Structure 1
Amino acid sequence: MTRTKPSTGHRRRARARRPAPRATRPQVMTLAALLVVASVVAGFMVLTRPDHTEPTAASGSSKSGKAAPKSTAEPKWDGKTKILGDGSTSYTGPQKGQLKPVPLKPGEKPPQFVVFSWDGALEGSDHLFSHYRELAKEYNAHMTFFLTGIYLLPKSKKDLYQGPMHGRGDAAIDYATDEHIRTTLEQLRQAYDQGNEIGTHFNGHFCEAKGGKYWSVDQWKSEIDQFYSFVENWKTNTGFKDIPALPFDFKKEVTGGRAPCLEGQPNLLKAIKSYGWRYDASSPGDFQIWPTKKNGIWDFPLQLLPYTDKNQALSMDFNFLYNQSNGEVHGDPSQYANWEQMTVDSYMKGFNRVYYGSRAPLFIGNHFEDWNGSIYMKAIDQVIKNVCTKKGVKCVSFKELSDWMDVQKPSTLAALRTLDPAQNPDWSAVVK
């Protein structure tokens, strides 16, 4: 799912290498088979699922001792900017323009939440970070940009990073050029100022044999601590003196992330409790149902969407790439227009299923990539314009969704989770 990113610029070392789907295919096929069987009944899925929601975990201390726990309450701000650390970051008060979370009233239909998220947010030569930031602003949307920590670490300083189970300076992705560090910093500033969320995609993007699937809790904490170190000390590491501090404190604003290749969630969930994080988007896939919590953390998975009459696809560009060109990043150009439309149709079928049904949030994950002639970028452009303008739709960040979920009555959430995706209920019987 987040396997490889062979594209323009410097993101991946093996640009012509085929993304390896081995960790993805069994999960997609297994869940898809379940969904096809379930969807036969009465035109929508009939699901029997336990409620795994648990109370939100209290903040504690990291065993590594490097990351301070977050406060659950926003401190009162005196209106003055506070420069932090070496001047790389600052505190400028609560983020502006955020969704105000309010409990549903009895009988009220929930908003249709849609979350667009981006793995490895980098402003490279393709300018896709700025494109989607601007598109979000145009359509009154907020998005989640998952930043890779080493994208703010110069290659000349790569020895400052040591990924778990790997040598010092090693990474499965390329380090950013100095110019792209500069442009990424500017996009992070503007994205935050416009109400978007900055999350984490961690650092080295390691997968498979020595990837996150095999990391211990303490190794995940090391990866998180290093992420914080790189993003909070970019000014020291780069030597840039002409760029002002970012207008936010990473330890306050980062409340979740997505693991590379969607691997290692069990130990990752144990690790992030001590950092006060509130959600994780690393689950490899689930039905389009209302979210639950795992170990006190909101679990926001990629979702199975209708794709063909017989198959489903997970709501991420890599999975469409796998279905359409068997993972080849430059497949048959004569199929590009058809594949783009199939991708748009799948997203829209998934959206319409819940928009006219259970109103479960729709999660869409993507990369800034030019795979198959950039058809997945073009598809997302269409989807944003189609869905974020509809009545009752709120295109929000994962952080905003967490805020909204947190203020709902437990009984309301439990009732919402009993709904099948295409089920349009009597809302007075669900929201009491």
Structure 2
Amino acid sequence: MAATQRIAAGAMATAACAASLVGCSTGSDGSQEGAPGPEQGAPAPRSVVRMIGDGSTAYTGAQPHLPRPERLKPGQKPPQFVVFSWDGSGEDSQKLFSHFRKVAKANHATMTFFLSGVYLLPEEKRDLYRPPQHSPGRSDIGFNDEKGITDTVRQLRLAWLEGNEIGTHFNGHFCGNDGGVGQWSVDEWKSEIAQAKQFVKSWKTNTGLRKAPPLPFDYDKELIGARTPCLEGQKNFMKAASELGFRYDTSGVNDQVWPKKREGLWDLSMQLVPFPGHTYEQLTMDYNFMVNQSGTSTQGDPDKYDYWGDQMRDGLLKGFYRAYDGNRAPLVIGNHFESWNGGTYMRAVDEVVEQVCNKPEVRCVSFRQLADWLDAQDPETLEKLRTLNVGEAPRRGWASFLSGHAAPAPKGVPGAPAIGR
């Protein structure tokens, strides 16, 4: 979300909004839209509210719409997981955050939104950000204004209440050799992570919007995973994240095989899928398709927009079916809220979500939900699944391949029988 796309400040939300937590916004003329009740189609207000810190965040109970993960039964075919994720999530004049929230709801999906912390920091408070190896107040993606922060917080609130995950894309998005994240130490990563959390936990203080409703989660507990800028700095980030209690990372490049843990984290990196018209494979991210189509230009030849979007859509679908009909490895897709090449990649993602998320045995989930499911499985089952190569289905079928009698899950862990049953 480019800083230049942010528009002027909006009016302050009212105390009635704070009471309901959801569904309140303020019009440009100061009128309340949807107050005091929730907006049409929004989740019901939460009955348990415990403010945290300055009230930027709040504990409101367990997150809604998170199914309890269950262990595979002997001989059971694994579901096909698909993760749609978004780097630098924020709401600007393009309204892509709100759009893909609606796409997810319409197609029985949840997604992961990686928030850039500086999107909740006003431009006039930029010096509060102390980026590693850079001067205070420096950011390669800018900061935000009151309206941009208000709109972004509203989308984050509704997204979480709908079962989506809020991760982090950190702050200043520094890439390359001039103090980029690839050069950061473990301690510098810890500083960056702490600041990303702090900007979320103190957006009310930093904006003065003290009567606005809080984010309905404790970000210290909500934040369990991330993707690094430009996929750089993964090694030291994972060391820092492991020490801080994160559960997964998605900053690398993998083949379409079942994931395993590194540094105590699930490695849920994006993957390589067929690239229609080429002999090589392509990473499952809009930016990489763009670079291999129009180079560094984000607005290439308009006559090729439709073709380029179709090429991305078809590549992702080829990767999906290769797993769906093969080893059932989770498919991880990464994107940005951008209108590169006329928005053709956003259209491609729309079409992929619609085509795959409504199929039998498919679960379009967040990284949190995928990590929960992996943690619930018998380690021997996962080890066996990892013996399947890209697109390889069990020769004698799933019933035979996973016919072993797995050890029961201990009570009290995900996937275990409920106590007393």
Displacement of 1:81 after TM fit? 1.5
Residues 9-408 of structure 1 aligned to structure 2 (within 5 Å)? 9-10=5-6, 80-209=48-177, 210-283=179-252, 285-307=253-275, 308-408=277-377
1:144-190: CA deviation from partner (whole Å, max 9, x where unpaired): 00000010010110000011000000001121121010000000000
- Once superposed, which parts of structure 1, at least 4 consecutive aligned residues long, lie more than 3 Å away? 5-8
CA distance in 2, matches of 1:304, 1:335: 23
CA distance in 2, matches of 1:6, 1:204: 12
In structure 1, the residue corresponding to 2:172 is in which secondary structure? coil
In structure 2, the residue corresponding to 1:231 is in which secondary structure? helix
Displacement of 1:201 after TM fit? 0.3
- Asked if the contact 1:7–1:369 (Cα under 8 Å) also holds between the matched residues in 2, the reply is no
1:49-94: CA deviation from partner (whole Å, max 9, x where unpaired): xxxxxxxxxxxxxxxxxxxxxxxxxxxxx97321100011000111
Displacement of 1:421 after TM fit? 2.3
Residues 1:260 and 1:116: Cα distance change in structure 2 (over 3 Å): same
Number of matched pairs: 361
- Backbone CA RMSD of aligned residues: 1.5
Displacement of 1:309 after TM fit? 4.2
In structure 1, the residue corresponding to 2:226 is in which secondary structure? coil
Indicate whether 1:427 and 2:395 are aligned: no
Displacement of 1:216 after TM fit? 0.4
Residues 1:343 and 1:143: Cα distance change in structure 2 (over 3 Å): same
Residues 1:7 and 1:151: Cα distance change in structure 2 (over 3 Å): closer
Displacement of 1:372 after TM fit? 0.4
CA distance in 2, matches of 1:208, 1:327: 15
Identify which range, 242-251 or 378-387, moves more after superposition. 242-251
Counterpart residue number, 1:39: none
In structure 2, the residue corresponding to 1:175 is in which secondary structure? coil
Which letter maps to 2:401?
A: V
CA distance in 2, matches of 1:10, 1:212: 25
CA distance in 2, matches of 1:411, 1:273: 23
Displacement of 1:6 after TM fit? 6.2
Displacement of 1:423 after TM fit? 1.5
- Asked if the contact 1:113–1:393 (Cα under 8 Å) also holds between the matched residues in 2, the reply is yes
Displacement of 1:328 after TM fit? 1.2
In structure 1, the residue corresponding to 2:266 is in which secondary structure? strand
Identify which range, 261-270 or 419-428, moves more after superposition. 419-428
Displacement of 1:10 after TM fit? 4.9
Q: Structure 1 unaligned segments of length 5 or more: list them.
A: 12-77
1:181-203: CA deviation from partner (whole Å, max 9, x where unpaired): 00000000000000000000000
CA distance in 2, matches of 1:7, 1:348: 33
CA distance in 2, matches of 1:294, 1:419: 19
Normalising by structure 1, we get a TM-score of 0.82
Displacement of 1:211 after TM fit? 1.1
**Percent identical residues:** 52
Counterpart residue number, 1:23: none
Displacement of 1:280 after TM fit? 0.5
In structure 1, the residue corresponding to 2:5 is in which secondary structure? coil
Higher relative contact order (CA 8 A, sep 6+): 1
- Asked if the contact 1:359–1:421 (Cα under 8 Å) also holds between the matched residues in 2, the reply is no
Residues 1:348 and 1:325: Cα distance change in structure 2 (over 3 Å): same
Q: Structure 2 unaligned segments of length 5 or more: list them.
A: 8-45, 405-421
In structure 2, the residue corresponding to 1:303 is in which secondary structure? strand
CA distance in 1, matches of 2:400, 2:180: 46
Displacement of 1:286 after TM fit? 1.3
Displacement of 1:259 after TM fit? 0.6
CA distance in 2, matches of 1:412, 1:79: 40
1:199-221: CA deviation from partner (whole Å, max 9, x where unpaired): 00000000111111110000000
In structure 2, the residue corresponding to 1:424 is in which secondary structure? coil
Displacement of 1:100 after TM fit? 1.6
